[in-house]
A and B are shown apart, each in its own frame.
Chain A
């Protein structure tokens, strides 16, 4: 009797363990399958039967007198609302400071000159899946004997544009001239997300990050690249991640300056509640704790206070963008607010929003002008709806992991901090994870040198590992 009850207990234990393992594998292990390529056709009306024109045509940003005088008239007739006393940037963009920006815009900003700045890098357009895709393609000015340029796809976000990369491009295509060593030299491709800047906006519903990743994948193949690196932040983070999930054999390495986790489980909740007291238990480093806690202030309240724009853009983009495509001042206020708080949350306490601490007005206004002259603010906002309308954490790509070698540059003033402990659940092959000493959300725009250095050391690691594997 004793033996049988013991055997019974042991059997029960075995079943329990097996059962747990089974449940664990069924429910918690993220699948390692690839994300399917999302084909689509985003042009107007019906897809034509004839084959699509796949030529790559050069493109230059142009401006006209009409465009400028229309802009000036709108700036002249702008109707401002006086801010509340001592409100700084707590209620949004302060209109007293906005007036100063508008005055600079009218009197000193030179759009013709800035268009020439934009045109200093070669730009192109090509039709993919029914829409015209705009991109910048910069090749290295010189290559040492026997070395090939490594293709690097860099993807912007909202409310940014391809222009954000203009300061970092030379550091990557010509690192030697900037004191960065010439072991790795890149040719850089910066496309505009469809619906942003000079890329045509999709005419059909459902154009989400997987669609953008598929379009960019086709772009890279069309340009003749079989293997390439990708880099991104904001929407660029998600699009490059999706690209690595769609075509892991083509993406040599994925570098990100922002990571968001969308699948939050019990471990995340526990680490939020207890992480301050037992950081080691949850894999948190000191810097993680410093950036994440107190969690209410740096996590929950920040999400609530800063995500109003995402909420309305994910639900009513055509409404909220309507006035912004008609009022350049409104557009500027809306976009500049992000360049203030997402660079440093403390800037909200400043009367000028700290805007010119890290950026020049010329740079900020050039980015805004890209939205204005292309009339793309509404389609840019629709991207939020197409990605978020079904809810966060519900889409297939959010449930899949990334096996491609990943490098993460974690900037201190990013809106939300994601510790490596959380990131590695999704990015299973993190090759480098560094806490950057300074900088916020618009990393390439604000700290091009820091970002370039991190990209270079990441690529270095990936290349060396590959060589080692080949041996």
Chain B
């Protein structure tokens, strides 16, 4: 166009002779950018993988069957556990330790006594089996999941598929209290609305009843891909995903991988995004003029003092992450052999990550939000499946290559996103910072109470937030 105009342009005044080509260039430039941005990769490569043991056999197709499964236990298993509990070697703590040195051994003795004498694993297994469990083989390993459909669907309502993904040191069991609130909200006093879910809770490979990968390199991308394949195998083309802890990262990767399948992404933890110069400036200014950098009052309250809450607290709480991301087989070895050691390691997180002030309590405040039965059932899942070591390897696989999740940060998330910000979460991420990565935040809620294990601790609050988020997405 510009070139064709040129022969005629000398007839116009000088001003026009400059403006027209400039305008054309400008338009051309905008066009080019728009075209390029359209073609810019906004998704993560799906890739492929195979995690079974030994060589992959190429003959025959992979078994696609979905096999029902029931958790079982035996006298031997329980007897072996009891013997180990009986011969636990206890170390006295220093005077006035509370939970500052880790799990308080005096309180641990009480927990062990309960575990040995009152906790009924057979009964808990029945509790676990109240929802239908299944196994299916994907990429060479057995994937475990529960699949709960509403028992009765009100007339005219559509049932939305919802994938809930757990984290560490949790399990599918964390969702047991929230599932009924999502499959039958009306029955539990939740807002009617139009939304009812059928819920799928898989176990991350290496956790619980999902087989552990036999090959190196199994990270959240591989998990995201496997869970997409799972949903597809179950016949779903579009679904909602929700997660906290690793579940947050996995569901986020799922949204980045196949955005057309993920109708909505809901997270109760935002993985700490990389600090750029801009965010650093924002952090420094935000302490004095939060409104200037887009922080709300609640943000400021949760985010500052910055060094204390975001550096010292994190350093104090991330020892486990450091050792699991470097030497998982060493860290987990003793824990797979000593159930009490396993319980101390896991339950310490259920204390500190639920409320930081629990550090000052002799009993770690554990039973103020959870029952010992619930806590021990989760620990038993790690024990009976002997999955503590593979669960720790997940940290190495995810952090070794990508210490600051940089590649995926660049990709961003464009799927409608809902964020539930719990006050006692390990670290707070203000909406304005989350927006750098989650480009399409539909809802961001400051929850009134609750910590890291949101679904376990505050199922009603979380369910309400998920439902209101999904309702908004449905109206888009």
Interface residues, chain A, with chain B CB atoms under 8 Å away: 44, 70, 74, 77-87, 91-95, 98, 202-205, 304-309, 311-327, 329-331, 333-334, 337, 375, 377-379, 382, 385
14 A-B pairs (CB sep. < 8 Å) = A44-B95, A74-B87, A79-B386, A80-B333, A80-B336, A92-B329, A202-B94, A307-B322, A312-B319, A312-B323, A318-B105, A319-B103, A330-B341, A379-B91
Query: With A85-B215, A326-B341 given, can you name 6 additional A-B contacts, CB distance below 8 Å?
Result: A84-B216, A91-B328, A304-B326, A318-B97, A322-B102, A334-B334
CB within 8 Å for A322 and B325 given contacts A84-B216, A330-B334: no
Is B342 located at the chain interface by the 8 A CB criterion? yes
Q: Assess whether A203 is in contact with B95, with CB atoms less than 8 Å apart.
A: yes
B386-428, CB under 8 A of A: which get 1 and which 0? 1011100100100000000000000000000000000000000
The residues of B that contact A331 with a CB separation of less than 8 Å are: 334
Q: Assess whether A322 is in contact with B103, with CB atoms less than 8 Å apart.
A: yes
The residues of A that contact B334 with a CB separation of less than 8 Å are: 323-324, 326-327, 329-331, 333-334
Is B344 located at the chain interface by the 8 A CB criterion? yes
Closest-by-CB residue of A relative to B90 is A325
Is B335 located at the chain interface by the 8 A CB criterion? yes
| CA of A157 to CA of B474, assembled, Å | 62
The residues of A that contact B73 with a CB separation of less than 8 Å are: none
Q: Assess whether A91 is in contact with B393, with CB atoms less than 8 Å apart.
A: yes
The residues of B that contact A322 with a CB separation of less than 8 Å are: 91, 102-103, 105, 108, 338, 340-341, 344-345
Q: Assess whether B338 is in contact with A309, with CB atoms less than 8 Å apart.
A: no
Of B89, B96, B329, B386, most A-chain CB atoms within 10 Å: B329
Q: Assess whether B328 is in contact with A321, with CB atoms less than 8 Å apart.
A: no
Q: Assess whether B337 is in contact with A327, with CB atoms less than 8 Å apart.
A: yes
Residue among A84, A205, A333 making CB contact with B333, cutoff 8 Å: A333
| CA of A314 to CA of B317, assembled, Å | 11
Residue among B213, B214, B323, B390 making CB contact with A309, cutoff 8 Å: B323
* A-B interface, 7 closest residue pairs, ranked by CB to CB distance from nearest: A323-B341, A330-B334, A92-B330, A319-B102, A312-B319, A308-B323, A316-B102
The residues of B that contact A203 with a CB separation of less than 8 Å are: 92, 94-95
CB within 8 Å for A326 and B89 given contacts A79-B337, A93-B329: yes
Q: Assess whether A305 is in contact with B101, with CB atoms less than 8 Å apart.
A: no
Distance to closest chain B CB from A103 (angstroms): 16
Q: Assess whether B329 is in contact with A308, with CB atoms less than 8 Å apart.
A: no
Is B458 located at the chain interface by the 8 A CB criterion? no
Distance to closest chain B CB from A133 (angstroms): 18
Q: Assess whether A315 is in contact with B336, with CB atoms less than 8 Å apart.
A: no
| CA of A85 to CA of B213, assembled, Å | 10
The residues of A that contact B104 with a CB separation of less than 8 Å are: 318
| CA of A304 to CA of B336, assembled, Å | 25
| CA of A271 to CA of B95, assembled, Å | 44
Distance to closest chain A CB from B14 (angstroms): 54
| CA of A306 to CA of B95, assembled, Å | 31
Q: Assess whether A91 is in contact with B101, with CB atoms less than 8 Å apart.
A: no
Q: Assess whether A327 is in contact with B323, with CB atoms less than 8 Å apart.
A: no
Is B446 located at the chain interface by the 8 A CB criterion? no
| CA of A204 to CA of B94, assembled, Å | 5
B208-251, CB under 8 A of A: which get 1 and which 0? 00000111100000000000000000000000000000000000
What bracket does the count of chain B residues touching chain A fall in?
Answer: 35 or more
Q: Assess whether B333 is in contact with A334, with CB atoms less than 8 Å apart.
A: yes
Of B92, B95, B108, B333, most A-chain CB atoms within 10 Å: B333
The residues of A that contact B108 with a CB separation of less than 8 Å are: 322
Q: Assess whether A330 is in contact with B320, with CB atoms less than 8 Å apart.
A: no
Distance to closest chain A CB from B7 (angstroms): 59
Q: Assess whether B319 is in contact with A323, with CB atoms less than 8 Å apart.
A: no
Distance to closest chain B CB from A68 (angstroms): 14
Q: Is the interface of B mostly helix, strand, loop or mixed?
A: helix
Closest-by-CB residue of B relative to A378 is B91
Is B373 located at the chain interface by the 8 A CB criterion? no
Distance to closest chain B CB from A151 (angstroms): 32
Distance to closest chain B CB from A280 (angstroms): 34
Residue among B101, B316, B320, B389 making CB contact with A317, cutoff 8 Å: B101
The residues of A that contact B215 with a CB separation of less than 8 Å are: 84-85
Q: Assess whether A323 is in contact with B344, with CB atoms less than 8 Å apart.
A: yes
Of A79, A94, A313, A382, most B-chain CB atoms within 10 Å: A79
Is B459 located at the chain interface by the 8 A CB criterion? no
Q: Assess whether A81 is in contact with B327, with CB atoms less than 8 Å apart.
A: no
Is B369 located at the chain interface by the 8 A CB criterion? no
The residues of A that contact B216 with a CB separation of less than 8 Å are: 84-87
Distance to closest chain A CB from B169 (angstroms): 12
The residues of B that contact A93 with a CB separation of less than 8 Å are: 327, 329-330, 333
Q: Assess whether B214 is in contact with A85, with CB atoms less than 8 Å apart.
A: yes
The residues of A that contact B330 with a CB separation of less than 8 Å are: 91-93, 333-334, 337
Residue among A95, A204, A330 making CB contact with B335, cutoff 8 Å: A330
Q: Assess whether B97 is in contact with A205, with CB atoms less than 8 Å apart.
A: yes
Q: Assess whether B94 is in contact with A316, with CB atoms less than 8 Å apart.
A: no
Of B215, B318, B320, B331, most A-chain CB atoms within 10 Å: B331
| CA of A315 to CA of B345, assembled, Å | 13
| CA of A371 to CA of B104, assembled, Å | 21
| CA of A313 to CA of B319, assembled, Å | 8
Q: Assess whether A91 is in contact with B327, with CB atoms less than 8 Å apart.
A: yes
Closest-by-CB residue of A relative to B93 is A318
The residues of B that contact A74 with a CB separation of less than 8 Å are: 87, 337
| CA of A385 to CA of B331, assembled, Å | 18
Q: Assess whether A95 is in contact with B89, with CB atoms less than 8 Å apart.
A: no
Mark out the residues of chain B between 61 and 88 whose CB falls within 8 Å of any chain A CB in the assembled complex. Answer: 80, 84, 87-88
Is B348 located at the chain interface by the 8 A CB criterion? yes
Is B53 located at the chain interface by the 8 A CB criterion? yes
Closest-by-CB residue of B relative to A313 is B319
Residue among A202, A316, A337 making CB contact with B101, cutoff 8 Å: A316
Distance to closest chain B CB from A132 (angstroms): 15
CB within 8 Å for A84 and B214 given contacts A77-B80, A78-B337, A306-B326: yes
Distance to closest chain B CB from A350 (angstroms): 15
Distance to closest chain A CB from B92 (angstroms): 8
CB within 8 Å for A79 and B95 given contacts A313-B319, A324-B341: no
Q: Assess whether A81 is in contact with B94, with CB atoms less than 8 Å apart.
A: no
Residue among A70, A82, A379 making CB contact with B87, cutoff 8 Å: A70
Q: Assess whether A317 is in contact with B102, with CB atoms less than 8 Å apart.
A: yes
Distance to closest chain B CB from A207 (angstroms): 8
Distance to closest chain A CB from B325 (angstroms): 7
| CA of A204 to CA of B319, assembled, Å | 23
Q: Assess whether B319 is in contact with A315, with CB atoms less than 8 Å apart.
A: yes
Is B332 located at the chain interface by the 8 A CB criterion? yes
Q: Assess whether B341 is in contact with A308, with CB atoms less than 8 Å apart.
A: no
| CA of A233 to CA of B463, assembled, Å | 56
| CA of A205 to CA of B96, assembled, Å | 8
Q: Assess whether A204 is in contact with B333, with CB atoms less than 8 Å apart.
A: no
Distance to closest chain A CB from B322 (angstroms): 4
Q: Assess whether B336 is in contact with A81, with CB atoms less than 8 Å apart.
A: yes
Q: Assess whether A83 is in contact with B329, with CB atoms less than 8 Å apart.
A: yes
The residues of A that contact B318 with a CB separation of less than 8 Å are: 311
Q: Assess whether A81 is in contact with B386, with CB atoms less than 8 Å apart.
A: yes
| CA of A322 to CA of B342, assembled, Å | 9
| CA of A329 to CA of B90, assembled, Å | 17
